[in-house]
Chains A and B, each alone.
Chain A
Amino acid sequence: MRVPFSWLNDFIKIPDSPEVAAEKLRQVGVPVTHVEYLSAGITQVFSGRIETLTPHPNADRLRVALVDLGKEKLQIVTGASNVAASDIIPVARVGATLAGGKIIQETKLRGLPSLGMMCSADELALDFKEYLPPTQREGVLILDSDTPIGIDLAPMLGLREAILVLEPFANRPDYLSIYGVAREAAAIYHLPLKNPDLYAATPGTLDGKIQVTVESSQESPRYIARYASQVKVNASPLWMAVRLNAAGIRPINNVVDVTNYVLLELGQPLHAFDCSRIQGKRIVVRQAKPNEKMVGLDEKTYDSLQNILVIADETGPVALGGIMGGKRTEISETTTEVLLEAANFNAGLVRRSSLKLGIRTESSRRFEKGLDPIGADWGSRRASFLLQQFGCQIADGAIDTQPAIPKPQEIGLNLQKMKKLLGVADLELSQVVNILKGLGFEVRTEDPLFVGPPLFRCDIHEDVDVIEEVARHYGYSHIPATLPAGMLLPATVDAEETFEETLRTFLSSVGLLEMLSYSLGDPPYFEKFYSRPLVLIQNPLTEDRKALRPLLYPEMLMNLRRNLHLKNTHLHFFEIGKTFEKLAGPQEKRSLAVLLTGDFPWGTSSNFYTLKGVLERLWQALHIETPFTLHEETKDQFHPFRCASIRHKGHGLGILGELHPNLLRSLDIDQRVMALELSVDQLQSLAGRFKMKPIPLYPESRRDISMIVEERVPAGEIIEFIRSHGGTLVEGIKIFDVYQGPQVPANKKSLAFAITYRSLEKTLTDEEVTQVHERIQKELASAFDATLRIA
């Protein structure tokens, strides 16, 4: 909503600058975002009448004008071709500033002095040129013939006009009007509010001219029709066009402009029908019938009107109630009689219809927030007043379906409760009463306090709504700031959140960078990774953000890819977040994923084992007793021989592996990428409670085993064998060498293990260790058909 400051001042003389007023309005909750200026900096432009216009003696293209400015007459030499004697035009006097900072000076043109300039729309920085007659668009602006001579044109042309730009809240449709904002200003400044000039209602009926039937007063509580004849459709006077333009609505013609002017001024949407085109001289406000359609003012055909409220004549809809008029009864140059509609429509109905039709108009924006029935009366009479000013004949009488307006429910207020809720101990009853009266509340009784909200405040329902009114005009800044007293409660943290934070801390401590990727992605892309049904958005903004991610790493991979294309080549990312699965309904899961590519700062390149190392460290960090196991896994998106499922006691927890080169190639990635994805929900259920292990008192003893086995024998099986057959003295087993090459027969590999032996009770002797070690060696040799290499 754009509120021209001069328009606001039609109703209240604000004693402050626009900026100060804007801040004061903001303080009471009128959401002024900023102040903007039109035709900023333009000064000293006055109205003048061309008395005489004669050819320039020395130049074919120039003419010499004598311009009457009231107190003085100026000679101005002009090149404009669209002016004629007796035209009233804007004159920039010597010393005036025009658009772009141009300053007018006294000059001589081909020998004749020129003491000013006739201005064009561009020179005055007016931005509604297309509304002007073609000759005026590039030439001099010609003012209405009844414009007084010698007046400062700033107010009329909106020069230096300040616009308060508002973003009104959904509960305050009254802020979508100049008058509504003026009402708040009046309450702030304690100044009287001037009423708009209204057409004085006259008794009579519109019998013979038009008939109105409203089928449901639920859907349309009030419908007021007035009739105007002797209408001449043409351009509005400049002042009105300027104001509409300043407030953000393009001028069209005088009749339509009047309805828009009232819409902006009072917040009441109106519609003007060309009455001669209403078939049967009778309109019905009703639900649309099946198969009915209407071409709107926007030239579009609306043919799905089920459950839509329409204004219809004998042949069908002529307007969509509260939303838009129809093409068939549009005001045109040939219009001579007008039916003026000022109605009140059900807010929910307008909102539903507007959503269904996919159109939001200035009208529907207001109706859907709830308007008061008085507005329809004021709107109708304000528009009639203006039409009368423009020479239309307003017929006596009106059709009004709700002449008696019920008083709003009165609300009881407890001053003590108000003081407690606001935390203001010294709030006086008189202050409360003054504030509420200033806001148009009717104070029915003071003790106990009962108030009636004004009709235009459809948002006031119960005592807290009134308390807010008091609070905002009392001033939020005057309410003290205190720290709450009360029971000291333990500030616990949700266990899931604590666990995720533990994971974050751990993963970043091993050098991984946290990433936050989008939860929504492209269904076909996700389907490359996930074969079960996806959870889909019904109304996605774009198709490529239609699916909720079933896994974390696919969307992370897109981010990794972007990084690689930006030449960030060594990347170690993790993410923790929700993934979504479609079971009976959509299910949320918590997941953790790691992506590695490129080298680590200390030189090693990312490979399967670095990723497995992360997993091993994680197991330690979470104190999970039973180790995870890896199992060969074949998945299209992974390297066929470098992919494993992660299990714990047989339960699948996730997947680990190198991504398939084909997948990477399809994404334009030309380096190896490792991926890990794990269920956080399951991980959390495994995490153990930590208990310190005693530090051993006796020394360890290390022995190595070097052996040659078949290359397909997994080293892990050998370790597991040593662990299970070694006995209680075996404390640890480490692989320190894996070798295949010239010194080892084909299809074989050499493995070297270091075994540490330790007793918790004593220092082991050499003999004791050797005995166990040799037994292990022997058993290994036979179990794995291994050749032992004795060092």
Chain B
Amino acid sequence: MSEAVLDKLDSLLDEAKSKITKAQDEKELEEVRHQILGKKGELTALLRNLGSIPQDKRPAVGKKANEIKLQIEQVLDDRLQKLSQSSLEIRLQNERIDYSLPGESLPSGRLHPISEVLREVKDIFRGMGFEVARGPEIETDYYNFEALNIPPDHPAREMWDSLYLDEKTLLRTHTSPVQIRVMEKRKPPLRVISAGKCYRRDAVDATHCFQFHQVEGFMVDEEVSFADLKGVLSTFARLVFGQDRQVKFVPSYFPFTEPSVEVYIDCFNCAQSSTGKCSLCGGEKWIEVLGAGMIHPFVLRVVDYPAHYSGFAFGVGIERIALLKYGINDIRLFYENDERFLRQF
């Protein structure tokens, strides 16, 4: 009797193995498992009949039956592993995508290029220890001109043809008034910049506009020198336009600085313009990027600073920096706000 059971077990194993191998997907395999190992399965039925086997044979048959069960389970698991792997492979294959289709649109706002450049310029000077102050766009003649050593009837006033609200009030023509406003309230040492919108009575064309942005900065302390001015502004110019730029300092004139200087960088476009004059520098090889100078003693006297203080001041035209940086040839683009222009930054 027990012999027959043992034989049955062996054939059950063979049968199971063949059924398992034939199962083609996970569902079929699950059916096979059910047929053999389920509550009403063949192996289960066999084991249930173990009671009919003589007492002394039972351990051997029971052991054998368990081995068979384990073997079947092992074969089932192997097959399952294999089938699930191949079905995953099929799924993945069906999920092949066209990499060339465009990406989906996500909300993508931008800052105006002028705001971008303003941030960059402010960051550079903050990195050199300059704090950021600000002042009004509507200024008095005193702050905009007189305190800066530009009295009425001074010929230099034509450098800043102004828009007036009344005889003594105007739209600031530069951010330099902030220099006076800060120095009036505070004592050196000071390292301050201020950024903002300025206005001049200019007709609008490719290189002029009645409104523009400027970053003005100054430093006052004991023994601030022209060499310091050169150091700070060379660093600035190279951080904006590249470390390999050459920086040139040329004498200039501003009523509120003495000595005064214009800062140039060597043209980075000349190499690219193969034929004729370079469009950026007009063949001059140098591009003006900012104006600066040692603060005129008149200005320091206006704010009652003792004579042992000295300082430098500078003004950076933000539109100009943006034009140069991004290769823009018309200043009007900044204020026409064509979406196709703004999206590029």
Count of chain A residues with Cβ under 8 Å from any Cβ of B? Answer: 92
* A348 CA / B169 CA spacing, docked (Å): 21
Question: In the assembled complex, how far is the CB of residue A557 from the closest CB belonging to chain B, in whole angstroms?
Answer: 11
Q: Shortest distance in angstroms between B285's beta carbon and chain A's nearest beta carbon? A: 10
- CB neighbours (8 Å) of A430 from chain B are none
Distance in angstroms between the alpha carbons of A578 and B197 in the assembled complex: 9
**Cross-chain contact B282 with A34 (CB below 8 angstroms):** yes
The answer to whether A517 touches B335 (Cβ under 8 A) is yes
Q: Let me know if B41 is at the binding interface, CB within 8 A.
A: no
Known: A484-B219, A563-B337, A600-B107. A513 touches B211 (CB 8 A): no
CB–CB A476/B250 < 8 A: yes
CB under 8 Å from chain A, chain B span 83-111: 104-111
Q: Which residues of A contact B158 (CB under 8 A)?
A: 170
Instruction: Output the least CB separation between A360 and chain B (Å).
Output: 9
A759: interface (CB < 8 Å): no
Docked Cα-Cα span, A539 to B343, in Å, equals 36
Complex contact A511–B109 (CB within 8 A): yes
Q: Of A484, A487, A566, which is in contact with the most chain B CB atoms at under 10 Å from its CB?
A: A484
CB-defined contacts of B343 to chain A, threshold 8 Å: 513
Contact with B along A638-682 (1 / 0, CB 8 A): 000000000000000000000000000000000000000000000
User: Which residues in A have their C-beta under 8 angstroms from that of B153?
Assistant: 347-348, 351-352
Which of B109, B163, B190, B230 is A537 in contact with, Cβ under 8 Å?
Answer: B163
- Shortest CB-to-CB span from B151 to chain A, Å, is 9
| Bound CA span A588–B127, Å | 30
The reply to whether B109 and A513 form a contact with Cβ atoms under 8 Å apart is: yes
User: Which residues of the partner chain A approach B195 to less than 8 Å between Cβ atoms?
Assistant: 497
Using known A-B contacts A468-B260, A492-B132, A516-B334, determine if residue A540 contacts B163 with beta carbons closer than 8 Å: yes
Closest A residue by C-beta to B226: A422
Q: Is the CB of B227 within 8 A of A423?
A: yes
Contact flag A476-B261 (CB < 8 Å), given A481-B230, A483-B231, A539-B163? yes
With both chains docked as a complex, state the minimum distance between the C-beta of A223 and any C-beta of chain B, in angstroms.
21
B231/A516 in contact, CB under 8 A: no
Cβ contacts under 8 Å, B203 to chain A: 541-542
Q: Is A490 an interface residue (CB 8 A)?
A: yes
Interface check A486, CB cutoff 8 A:
yes
> Inside 8 A of A170's CB, which chain B residues have their CB?
154-156, 158-159, 253, 255
A691 adjacent to chain B (CB < 8 Å): no
Rounded to whole angstroms, the CA-CA distance of A468 and B252 in the bound complex is 10
Residues of B within 8 A of A504 (CB): 111, 115
Q: How far is the CB of B126 from chain A (nearest CB, A)?
A: 4
A86 part of interface (Cβ distance < 8 Å): no
B228 touching A482, Cβ below 8 Å: yes
Please, how many angstroms separate the alpha-carbon atoms of A568 and B343 in the complex?
A: 12
A739: Cβ under 8 A from any B Cβ: no
**Residue A489 CB within 8 A of the other chain:** yes
A491 and B126 within 8 A (CB): yes
Given contact pairs A170-B156, A541-B202, A484 touches B259 in the complex (Cβ within 8 A): no
Contacts of A574 in B (CB 8 A): 109
CB < 8 Å neighbour of A568 from B115, B235, B294, B338 = B338
Query: In the bound complex, how far is the Cα of B110 from the Cα of A509, in angstroms?
Result: 8
- Interface status of A424 (Cβ within 8 A of chain B): yes
Given A468-B258, A514-B115, A571-B339: A480 and B230 within 8 A (CB)? yes
Asked if A483 meets B235 with Cβ closer than 8 Å, knowing A476-B251, A520-B211, A541-B210, the reply is yes
Contact A601 B106 (CB under 8 A): yes
Return chain B residues, CB-CB under 8 Å to A465. Answer: 258
Distance in angstroms between the alpha carbons of A483 and B236 in the assembled complex: 11
Contact between B258 and A464, CB atoms less than 8 A apart = yes
Is there an interface contact between B232 and A514, defined as CB atoms closer than 8 Å? no
A609 is an interface residue with CB less than 8 A from chain B: no
**Among B46-54, B61-69, B133-141, B268-276, which stretch is in contact with chain A?**
B133-141
> Among the listed B106, B166, B225, B338, which residue makes an inter-chain contact with A538, where contact means beta carbons less than 8 Å apart?
B166
0 or 1 for each of A533-548: is its CB under 8 Å from B? (1 = yes): 0011111111001001
Q: Does A28 contact B (CB under 8 A)?
A: yes
B:263-296 near A, CB below 8 Å: 282, 284, 294, 296
Name the A residues within 8 Å of B338 (CB-CB): 562-563, 566, 568
B131 near A490 with CB under 8 A, answer yes
Interface magnitude class on chain B: 35 or more
A97 to B205, CA, bound (A): 39
CA distance A600 to B104 in the complex (A): 12
Q: Which of A370, A539, A574 has the most chain B CB within a 10 Å cutoff? A: A539
Bound complex: CA A573 to CA B343 (Å):
11
Q: How far is the CB of A142 from chain B (nearest CB, A)?
A: 37
Q: In whole angstroms, what is the CA distance A511 to B107 when docked?
A: 4
**Interchain CB contact (< 8 A) of B138 among A471, A501, A588:** A588
B145: interface (CB < 8 Å): no
Chain B residues, Cβ within 8 Å of A468: 251, 258-260
- Give, as a whole number of angstroms, the nearest-CB distance from A357 to chain B: 15
A580 neighbours in B (Cβ, 8 Å):
138
* A337, CB-defined interface residue at 8 Å: no
B-contact bits for A475-517, CB 8 A (1 contact / 0 none): 0110111111011111111101100010010011111111111
Residues of B with C-beta under 8 A to A368 = 155
Q: Does A127 contact B (CB under 8 A)?
A: no
Interface contact B111-A464, CB-CB below 8 Å: no
- Decide yes or no whether B26 CB sits under 8 A from chain A: no
- If A29-B250, A424-B227 touch, whether A563 touches B165 (CB-CB below 8 Å) is no
Give CA–CA (A519, B190) in the complex, Å: 31
Interchain CA distance A559-B189 in the complex, whole Å:
44
Whether B258 lies near A489 (C-beta < 8 A) is no
Would you give the 0/1 interface string for A514-538, flagging 1 where the beta carbon is closer than 8 Å to chain B? 1111111000000000000001111
Say yes or no: A538-B164 contact (C-beta < 8 A), given A496-B134, A519-B199, A568-B340. Answer: yes
Candidates B165, B284, B337; contact of A517 at CB < 8 Å: B337
Q: How far is the CB of B210 from chain A (nearest CB, A)?
A: 6
- CB B297 to nearest CB in A, in angstroms, measures 6
Cα A471 to Cα B310 in complex, Å, equals 16
**A577 interfacial contact with B, CB 8 Å:** yes
Contact with A along B179-214 (1 / 0, CB 8 A): 000000000011100110101011100000011000
With A171-B156, A472-B251, A538-B165: A482-B225 Cβ-Cβ less than 8 Å: yes
Contacts of B210 in A (CB 8 A): 518, 520, 541, 545
The docked-state distance in angstroms from the alpha carbon of A627 to that of B186 is 39
Q: Which residues of B contact A585 (CB under 8 A)?
A: 169
Contact B250 A586 (CB under 8 A): no
Tell whether B3 is near chain A: CB-to-CB under 8 Å.
no
In the complex, what distance in Å separates the CA atom of A29 from the CA atom of B183? 29
A518 touches B335 (CB 8 A): yes
A738 to B294, CA, bound (A): 68
B337 near A573: Cβ-Cβ < 8 Å: yes
Q: Which residues of A contact B253 (CB under 8 A)?
A: 29, 169-172
A489 touches B165 (CB 8 A): no
**In the complex, the 6 A-B pairs of residues with the closest C-beta atoms, listed nearest first:** A423-B227, A29-B251, A511-B107, A601-B105, A423-B225, A508-B109
A sample of 26 cross-chain residue pairs with beta-carbon separation below 8 angstroms, ordered by A number, consists of: A27-B250, A28-B251, A170-B159, A171-B155, A171-B253, A421-B226, A423-B230, A467-B259, A468-B251, A468-B258, A468-B260, A472-B251, A481-B230, A484-B228, A491-B126, A504-B111, A508-B109, A514-B111, A516-B114, A516-B337, A538-B164, A585-B169, A586-B169, A588-B138, A601-B105, A601-B107
Q: Which residues of B does A touch, CB under 8 Å?
A: 104-112, 114-115, 119, 122, 125-134, 136-138, 152-156, 158-159, 163-166, 169, 171, 189-191, 194-195, 197, 199, 201-203, 210-211, 219, 221, 223-228, 230-232, 234-235, 248-253, 255, 258-261, 282, 284, 294, 296-297, 310, 334-340, 342-343
State the A residues within 8 Å of B (CB): 26-29, 31, 34, 169-172, 347-348, 351-352, 368-370, 420-424, 462, 464-465, 467-468, 471-472, 476-477, 479-484, 486-494, 496-497, 501, 504, 507-520, 535-542, 545, 548, 559, 562-563, 566, 568, 571-574, 577-578, 580, 585-586, 588, 600-602
Give 13 A-B pairs besides A489-B131, A491-B130 with Cβ atoms closer than 8 angstroms.
A170-B255, A171-B155, A352-B153, A476-B230, A489-B189, A493-B126, A507-B109, A508-B110, A516-B112, A518-B210, A536-B165, A538-B165, A573-B337
